[in-house]
Amino acid sequence: MPRKDIYHQTVIQALNQEGWIITDDPLRLSYGGRNIYVDLGAKQRDLLGAEKSGRKIAVEIKSFMSESDIHDFEVSLGQYRLYRAILEETEPERTLYLAIPLHSYEGIFKEPLGQLMIHKENLNLLIFNTKLQRIKTWIP
């Protein structure tokens, strides 16, 4: 099992506040005899508490706390591409999101390199506020 990111509980709290039900912690993906783990699997419920059919997500959480934001960026993109490819084959109804703290989005992700990769890789981002434990925005 992979080690949980420092913001794991923060993202769970933020998703719960927006009406998401955590279904998998972690979400296990199996492909070609290998098991790979995405941090969370979730589905959304409607205002009455019932689950919406077809609204499922997978969330990979990244803190971007190492000494090199470029290294964190490279690792995150690699994981995202791998997980997205497997999900397209095994659970095409599930949308993958990369959950990142607001300070990371306002840093490397807003720079030309970050914007290039968001566009070229069609990244789905879940940007969260670490102090408020709330989701700031979803991209797209």
pLDDT of residue 1: 67
> Does 74 score more than 70 pLDDT?
yes
pLDDT of residue 3: 85
- Mean pLDDT rounded to a whole number for the chain: 93
Q: Which domains does the chain have, with CATH numbers?
A: 8-139 (3.40.1350.10)
Amino acid at 94: R
Tell me the pLDDT tens digit for each residue of 79-110: 999 999 999 999 999 999 999 999 999 999 99
CA atoms within 13 A on the CB side of 100: 27
Quick one: pLDDT band at residue 54, thresholds 50, 70, 90?
low
Q: What is the DSSP string of 30-75?
A: EETTEEEEESEEEEEE-TTSPEEEEEEEEEEE----SS-HHHHHHH
